[in-house]
């Protein structure tokens, strides 16, 4: 089966057997517990919904299929998925090498909880260069955490090359694939060990659910993660599982349109006199355009741009838009816009933001699937305000 077909059929096969009702949509199984006839035989294997739930199982099956993985586990949020990963696979004194231009919440989790409270060491490096990752490895390094493209500057890391150097040392490579979705990039096929998604974004796609997932092939790692999913309890609810199942059905068509709109917006912005720079891996001038072509099958729906102006002009610009909701988050059908320096990345220290290249005039945009002419007209009219 091809991607679009998997996205509609995996995990949602109508039950036509005895007792089945033939629902073409997976029901939302709300029960917290499951009755059994015989004390030692749980009905259909179900005992308690934190441990296993049919709606979450259906979603996990689908998410695994979409990433080309053997296993998937769904959690209450992207950060709950990351928390479970670190709790499962690392201990105090272990070392994480992470890309420096990460989602702000990931950095906060690594630094302010796992480092500050549990003594997990963390180094942040510019992972655009494999040599920087290589140099940062220590004898206690257990995890390399990549986001490619990064948020908000759309920097890439060479997932295959980094996976290559680390596997000789038995280090786990985890990739946050939220920006690309499995439709445009499949890190496991490039050699990564674990893929993470905030399903809140493109996978659900409608800005009405918070969730996260881990996908992987290794059965030993899977057993550890599955143990933690139940033991620590950060599971995804049946209702949210249903929403994401529903969202994934249209992932392919949405991603195509997100990308088409983002590409047109990137071309428009790059020739605008009030724009200093556009960050989008689909533009030939992106410094890692060749790598983008190699490891992604599309450039996605996210881009950032720097206006020729200060913070107050950037504020005026984003507040002056009509169709772009001024909001954090991304990957919904509606276009969103935000200022990383004071919104999504406000938790990153100012000095560090400067070092990474997140200026006050940087604007991050999530291209929705509206008619792009309306979006372009909106962007143009707000430029008249600054």
Ligand X SMILES: *Cc1c(COP(=O)(O)O)cnc(C)c1O
Residues lying near ligand X in the complex (CB under 6 A): 77-79, 103, 105-106, 147, 151, 176, 178-179, 198, 200-201, 210, 212
Q: What is the 3-state secondary structure (H, E, C) of 293-353?
A: HHHCCCCCCEEEEEECCCHHHHHHHHHCCCCCEECCCCCCCCCEEECCCCCCCCCCCHHHH
| Closest distance of CB 211 from ligand X, Å | 6
| Closest distance of CB 213 from ligand X, Å | 10
Tell me whether residue 289 is one of the annotated catalytic residues.
Answer: no
Q: Decide whether 46 or 184 has the Cβ nearer to ligand X.
A: 184
| Closest distance of CB 80 from ligand X, Å | 7
Q: Decide whether 71 or 179 has the Cβ nearer to ligand X.
A: 179
List Cβ neighbours of 285 (8 Å cut-off, separation of 6 or more). 270
Tell me whether residue 201 is one of the annotated catalytic residues.
Answer: yes
Tell me whether residue 46 is one of the annotated catalytic residues.
Answer: no
Burial degree of 380 (CB within 10 A; 0-12, 13-18, 19+): exposed
Q: Decide whether 105 or 191 has the Cβ nearer to ligand X.
A: 105
Q: Decide whether 10 or 83 has the Cβ nearer to ligand X.
A: 83
| Closest distance of CB 170 from ligand X, Å | 25
The single residue of 103, 183, 242, 280 carrying the catalytic annotation is 103
Question: Residue 161: which H helix or E strand, with range?
Answer: helix 159-167
The single residue of 107, 201, 353, 364 carrying the catalytic annotation is 201
| Closest distance of CB 228 from ligand X, Å | 16
The Cα 153–Cα 119 span in angstroms is: 29
| Strand arrangement, sheet containing 362-366 | 275-279, 302-307, 362-366, 336-338, 325-326
| Closest distance of CB 24 from ligand X, Å | 28
Q: List b or e across 6-41, with b for residues whose CB sees 16 or more CB atoms inside 10 angstroms.
A: bbeebbbeeeeeeeeeeeeebebbeeeebeeeeeee
| Closest distance of CB 301 from ligand X, Å | 12
Coil, helix or strand at residue 224: helix
Q: Decide whether 46 or 202 has the Cβ nearer to ligand X.
A: 202
Q: Decide whether 79 or 367 has the Cβ nearer to ligand X.
A: 79
The Cα 327–Cα 25 span in angstroms is: 32
Q: Decide whether 331 or 361 has the Cβ nearer to ligand X.
A: 331
Q: What is the 3-state secondary structure (H, E, C) of 235-290?
A: ECCHHHHHHHHHHHCCHHHHHHHHHHHHHHHHHHHHCCCCEEEEECCCCCCCCCHH
Tell me whether residue 129 is one of the annotated catalytic residues.
Answer: no
The single residue of 94, 176, 193, 360 carrying the catalytic annotation is 176
Give the residue at shortest CB distance from ligand X: 78
The Cα 16–Cα 34 span in angstroms is: 21
Residue among 351, 347, 337, 251 at smallest CA distance from 298 = 251
Question: Residue 83: which H helix or E strand, with range?
Answer: helix 78-89
Instruction: Please identify every residue annotated as catalytic.
Output: 50, 103, 176, 201
């Amino acid at each position: 089966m091809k991607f679009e077909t998997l996205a509609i059929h995996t995990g949602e096969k109508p039950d036509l057997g005895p007792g089945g009702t033939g629902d073409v949509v997976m029901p939302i199984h709300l029960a917290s517990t499951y009755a059994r006839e015989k004390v030692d035989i749980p009905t259909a294997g179900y005992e308690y919904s934190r441990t296993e739930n049919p709606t979450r199982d259906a979603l996990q099956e689908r998410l695994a299929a979409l990433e080309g993985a053997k296993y998937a586990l769904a959690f209450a949020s992207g950060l709950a998925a990351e928390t479970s990963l670190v709790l499962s696979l690392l201990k105090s004194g272990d070392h994480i090498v992470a890309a420096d231009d990460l989602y702000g919440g990931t950095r906060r989790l690594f630094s302010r909880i796992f480092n500050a409270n549990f003594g997990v060491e963390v180094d942040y490096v510019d992972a655009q260069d494999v040599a920087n990752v290589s140099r940062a490895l220590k004898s206690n390094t257990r995890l390399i955490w990549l986001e490619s493209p990064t948020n908000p500057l759309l920097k890439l890391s060479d997932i295959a090359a980094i996976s290559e150097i680390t596997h000789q040392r038995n280090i786990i490579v985890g990739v946050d694939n939220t920006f690309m979705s499995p439709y445009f990039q499949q890190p496991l096929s490039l050699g990564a060990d674990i893929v993470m998604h905030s399903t809140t974004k493109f996978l659900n796609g409608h800005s009405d659910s918070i969730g996260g997932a881990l996908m992987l092939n290794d059965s030993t790692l899977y057993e550890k993660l599955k143990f933690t999913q139940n033991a620590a309890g950060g599971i995804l609810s049946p209702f949210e599982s249903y929403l994401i199942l529903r969202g994934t059905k249209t992932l392919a068509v949405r991603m195509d349109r997100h990308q088409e709109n983002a590409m047109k917006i990137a071309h428009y912005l790059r020739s605008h006199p009030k724009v200093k720079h556009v960050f989008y891996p689909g533009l030939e001038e992106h410094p890692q355009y060749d790598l983008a072509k190699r490891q992604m099958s599309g450039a996605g729906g996210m881009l950032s741009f720097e206006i020729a102006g200060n913070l107050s002009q950037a504020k005026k610009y984003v507040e002056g838009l009509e169709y772009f909701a001024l909001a954090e988050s991304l990957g919904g059908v509606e276009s969103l816009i935000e200022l990383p320096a004071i919104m999504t990345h406000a938790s990153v220290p100012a000095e560090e933001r400067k070092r990474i290249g997140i200026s006050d005039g940087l604007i991050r945009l999530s291209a929705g699937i509206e008619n792009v002419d309306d979006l372009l007209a909106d962007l143009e009219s707000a430029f008249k305000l600054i």
